[in-house]
Amino acid sequence: MNTQKIIELISMILEKQGKSCNSLTAESALRDIQFRSLDFSELCLRVEQELGRELNFTAENLRNMQKVSDICNFISGASK
């Protein structure tokens, strides 16, 4: 799953929650865009649905992520 697709999913999740995503880029800080635990959980589930399989998302992996690019890199790596 490529970076563009993941950013689109994050944008969709934020928009659905009424959060602003106009300036969303790979360098956006997760704290600044208010991307929280439930948003993470939803993203993980949507990625797994897209790929048709479970990925090894762990709380420890996600705790270390600070930016959108961290998520994209992790998902891209995990989905290979």
For residue 41, state whether it binds another protein (rule: CB under 8 A).
yes
Whether 51 contacts 1, CB under 8 Å: yes
Main-chain phi, psi angles of 75, to 5 degrees = -65, -40
Pick the piece of the chain touching another protein (CB under 8 A) from 3-11, 26-34, 54-62, 71-79: 54-62
* Token pair of 78 as six digits: 């995990």
Under DSSP, the state recorded for 79 is T
Q: Per-residue contact track with another protein, 16 to 35, x per CB under 8 A?
A: xxx-----------------
Point out which span in 1-9, 24-32, 36-44, 68-76 binds another protein (CB under 8 A): 36-44
